[in-house]
Amino acid sequence: MNAVIRTEGLVKRFGHVTALDRLDLEVTQGETHGFLGPNGAGKSTTIRVLLGMLRSDEGRAELFGGDPWKDAAELHKRLAYVPGDVALWPGLTGGETIDLLGRLRGGIDKAKRDELLERFDLDPRKKGRSYSKGNRQKVALVAAFAADVDLLLLDEPTSGLDPLMGAVFNECVKEASALGRTVLLSSHIMSEVEALCERVSIIRKGVIVETGTLAEMRHFSRSRVRATLKNPVRGLEDHEGVHDLKVDGLEVECSVDTAALDDVLAQLAVAGVAGLTCEPPSLEEIFLRFYGDELAASGVPNGEENGS
């Protein structure tokens, strides 16, 4: 497999804060890779190192086999970057900014640009200083998706966009992927990552704690099974793959390890099934396995979607 991004043992400290603590990340050519973690986990620091905007203290980072720090000028022709808080040249219009960014990146598809302006419902004639936060994001997104590049580095790019525009964003990522572009999408929004990414790396306190396809991650997780039975079921409470079992008459509800699913379904079938639902674990549940304690301690409610 061809790695577009590879970091090995990456360390970045800010004074006493260790933002990256031997981070290993690998993104393969052509994939859309989710980079998931709450605020402060180290997502932006990683991306800034990859952009050559920060120098790491230890370890290695490679972009297209090059060094993001030394080869920045060459590498930036092949990538587009969208941060979560886009700053624009105050005196340039959105359109001028998009074209300028396009030239820096070695080319822009003008027809694509015009199509994207329409889809994102962005007026390119306003000056940078007069755009709202959401419109500044749109300027950067149009510039990124219209650029003829191999890699998109998107760092919480949809912050400030309304849900309708979030849907346009999702389509654009899929189109970029269909063109063979590699995408690194950092996010703390599960649904976005779940909808777009083949592989996901979960970052916690500057370390990757889990990486793999969603299917692989689900394999190590539990499905939620709810059944209405015809007769009482016996023996489920003794099964080591069954958790949080609740039996209320003929209603049964439990979490089941993927490996135990066939056993459990067989036992339910013996009792006779009048109704059954089985939900695979969501990315959110997988994520909470790594973060549940921390989020509980910080008082952040589950499914929090704000912040930057």
- Print the binding letters for residues 38-77 with ligand ADP: x by CB under 6 A, - otherwise: -xxxxxxx--------------------------------
Q: Which is nearer to Mg ion, 36 or 260 (CB)?
A: 36
- Decide: is 34 part of the binding site for ligand ADP (CB under 6 A): no
Q: Does 19 bind ligand ADP (CB under 6 A)?
A: yes
Cβ distance to ligand ADP smaller for residue 81 or 120:
81
Could you say which of 7, 32, 44, 182 contacts Mg ion (CB under 5 A)? 44
46 binds Mg ion (CB under 5 A): no
76 binds, among Mg ion, ligand ADP, none (CB under 5 to 8 A by kind): none
Contact status: 158 vs Mg ion (CB under 5 A): no
Q: Which residue's CB is nearer to ligand ADP, number 14 or number 89?
A: 14
DSSP secondary structure letters along the chain: --EEEEEEEEEEEETTEEEEEEEEEEEETT-EEEEE--TTSSHHHHHHHHTTSS--SEEEEEETTB-TTTTHHHHGGGEEEE-SS----TTSBHHHHHHHHHHHTT-B-HHHHHHHHHHTT--TTSBGGG--HHHHHHHHHHHHHHB--SEEEEESTTTT--HHHHHHHHHHHHHHHHTT-EEEEEES-HHHHHHH-SEEEEEETTEEEEEEEHHHHHHTSEEEEEEEESS---SGGG-TTEEEEEEETTEEEEEEEGGGHHHHHHHHHHH-EEEEEEEPPPHHHHHHHHHHHHHHHHTPPTT-----
- Give the footprint of ligand ADP on this chain (CB under 6 A): 14, 17, 19, 37, 39-45
